[in-house]
Structure formats: structure tokens, C-alpha cells
Amino acid sequence: MTTSISTTAAARKSPLHKYWVILSTRTQEDMAYRANYVFGAIFRFLPLVTMIFLWFAVYAGRGMAPINGMTFKDMIVYNTLMYIARGFSSVPGTMSDISKDIKDGQLNRYLIKPMDYFGYQVMYRLAHKLVFWYIALLTFPFVFWFMSLSGHYFTHWPSFWEWLSFIVSLAIAFCIGIQFCFVIGTLAFWFLEISTFLFVVMMLEFFMSGQLIPLNILPQAMHRVLFLSPFGYEGYWPCMILMGKVPQDQLLPVLGRGLLWTGIFYGIVRMMWKAGLKRYSAVGG
């Protein structure tokens, strides 16, 4: 007669159950401080106000002529949609948390548990995003509704394929966002002090994802590199897809490159983790 070695209820559940528990606990933890999120969700739109009037002044100065095919309204819609894209691709604190875990030897706590640290981080950040979107769904529609009412900024109604591609591109945005953070964070296995480096990387990401300025109005010479880089998927491409600025026959190639980058990053994540663990000294320092 065989008896099961596992006796606790948790162990009998699916091997993925633990990730569900992480997700659920982390979500509850964040929900305890809802007010914090509500303030964030409301006030994060303030820069948009400056953005609208500043770009209006710029366009007014040139007789409202479009810049590289971007009209004034396009510019505003782009910056508004960027909030949605960043709501998926930005995972603040991930890079520094991971590098801190490695540097301080805190990683031990996770290594002895029968779970994957990368999986843990994904679930942890996904929980943040869930709470973020739970709150955002109360404020974002209002902002979009207000904007379409006040300025009729949204002139393009996306087709079915554009909606679908947009949703896929948001998933890509999250995958690239978190995997990139993980890759940079695990550099802490090799380098003790990487905070400057983290900062430079984050600035580059900020710029190359098109958050500062839409990539297509930057000097032509930079387009080729910027359009092929993985960072565009963290902001530029989701926005452009929903704005109908990506021709229908280009949707698949654009998404395909994004998925390719997701795969490449996954490979790098696994490689870095494996190589890094060999160097890991498991002590603080």
C-alpha cells in the first residue's frame, strides 16, 4: 500500500498554486492602502494638463501644421494613451528590489523555497498591476471621456484588428517591462554597486520607449534603431497601434518583433539567473 508523502492540503494542490497564493496575498496587502493608490490615480494625470497647453503653444507657433504626420490632437492622444501603455510596462522598484535581494543576501529566503524567484517577482508585480488597474478603471474612463468631450481629441476609432493588436501589445509591454527589469536587476550578481547604472538604464528606457517624445518626431536618423529596439514596445507601439498610425499590413510584423523580443528577453533572464546563481555568495555586503 502506498501512502502519500505530502500531507498538507497546500502540497496536494497544483504546483502552480503557490504562485496564485503570492498573487492573492500581495494584492490584499496593496488593497489595504487603497487611498494611496486613489491619490496616485487621480494626480498622475496632472502632467497631461501641462502637456496639452505646451504642445498647443508649440503647434500654434507653426500655424498648427503637423509634425511628421502628428497633428496637435494626435500628440495629445499619444500622451494620453501612454498612460495605459505604462500601466502595463512600468514595474517601479523591481530592478532595485532584485539587486538589493542579491546584494544583501536576502535572496536566500527565496532560494530555499520550492519556487522560482522570477516567477515570484512576476506574481508580485502582477499583483501591483491588478490593484493599479482596479483603481485606474475608476479614473481612466473618466479622463478619456472628459478629453473626448472637451477637445474631441480622439478622431480615430480603432478597427477590430487594431483593438486586438493593442491588447496583444499591452501583454508584450508587461512581459518586456518586467523581464528587462529582471535582467538589469540580476547584474547585481556581478557588480556590487549598480545604482548609477540602473538610473542611466531607466533614463534610456524612458527616452527610447517614447514616453518623453513620440519616437516618430525625433530626427530621422534615429528612427531605424528606435523602431527596432525592444523599448518601443513599452510605450510607443501600443499607442501608435490604437491611434491607427500603424498600417494594417504592418500590425503583424510589429507584434511579431515584439514577441521575438519577449522570447529573447526570456532567454536572457534564464541565462543570467543560471550564471548568476553560480557566482552568488549568499552573504550581505
Partner 1 sequence: MADFKKYLRLTALMMKNCLVREMQFKANFLVRLFTEMMWLVMQFIYIGVMYGQTGQIAGWTLWEMVVLAGTNYVISQLFEALFYDNCMRLIDQIRQGDLDFNLVKPINTQFLVSLRYTDYASIVNSSVGIGVVLFALGKLGIGVTAGGMVLFAALVANSILIYYSILFILSVWTFWIGRSNNLMELYWQFGQFSRYPGEIYPWLLRRLLQTLIPMLIVSNVPAGVLIHKLQGGLILYGFTLGAVFLALTAWIWQAGLKHYRSASS
Using the contact rule CB under 8 A, the part of the chain among 78-86, 170-178, 207-215, 226-234 near partner 1 is 207-215
Is 100 one of the binding residues for partner 1 (CB under 8 A)? Answer: no
DSSP string, 91-155: -TTHHHHHHHHHHTTTHHHHHTSSS-HHHHHHHHHHHHHHHHHHHHHHHHHHHHHHHHHHH----
First-residue to last-residue Cα distance in the chain: 51
Between CA 123 and CA 115 the distance in angstroms is: 12
Is 37 one of the binding residues for partner 1 (CB under 8 A)? Answer: yes
C-alpha dist (Å) from residue 141 to 42, 127, 160, 262, 282: 12, 21, 20, 29, 47
Nearer to partner 1, 76 or 172 (CB): 76
Number of residues counted as binding partner 1 (CB under 8 A) = 33
Is 43 one of the binding residues for partner 1 (CB under 8 A)? Answer: yes
Nearer to partner 1, 137 or 200 (CB): 200
- Specify the amino acid at residue 126: L
Using the contact rule CB under 8 A, the part of the chain among 1-9, 13-21, 41-49, 236-244 near partner 1 is 41-49
Is 201 one of the binding residues for partner 1 (CB under 8 A)? Answer: no
Is 120 one of the binding residues for partner 1 (CB under 8 A)? Answer: no
Q: Catalogue the long-range contacts made by 51-55 (C-beta closer than 8 Å, 24 or more residues apart).
A: 51/76, 51/79, 52/76, 52/151
Nearer to partner 1, 216 or 262 (CB): 216
Is 146 one of the binding residues for partner 1 (CB under 8 A)? Answer: no
Is 284 one of the binding residues for partner 1 (CB under 8 A)? Answer: no
> Which neighbouring-strand residues pair with 281?
none
Q: Which of 62, 109, 156, 223 binds partner 1 (CB under 8 A)?
A: 62
> Which neighbouring-strand residues pair with 67?
70
| C-alpha count within 13 angstroms, C-beta hemisphere, residue 78 | 25
Is 213 one of the binding residues for partner 1 (CB under 8 A)? Answer: yes
Least spacing, CB of residue 19 vs partner 1, in Å: 26
Nearer to partner 1, 6 or 36 (CB): 36
Least spacing, CB of residue 33 vs partner 1, in Å: 5
Which one-letter DSSP state was computed for residue 13? S
Q: Write down the H helix ranges in 152-247.
A: 160-185, 195-208, 220-228, 236-242
Using the contact rule CB under 8 A, the part of the chain among 8-16, 196-204, 260-268, 275-283 near partner 1 is 196-204
CB-based burial, 212-234: b 16+ in 10 Å, e otherwise = eebbbebeeeeeeebeebbbbbb
Least spacing, CB of residue 206 vs partner 1, in Å: 8
Is 212 one of the binding residues for partner 1 (CB under 8 A)? Answer: yes
Q: Which of 24, 40, 270, 275 binds partner 1 (CB under 8 A)?
A: 40
Instruction: Using CB under 8 A, list all residues that contact partner 1.
Output: 33, 35-37, 39-40, 43-44, 46-47, 49-50, 53-54, 56-59, 61-62, 67, 193, 195-196, 199-200, 203, 206-207, 212-213, 217-218
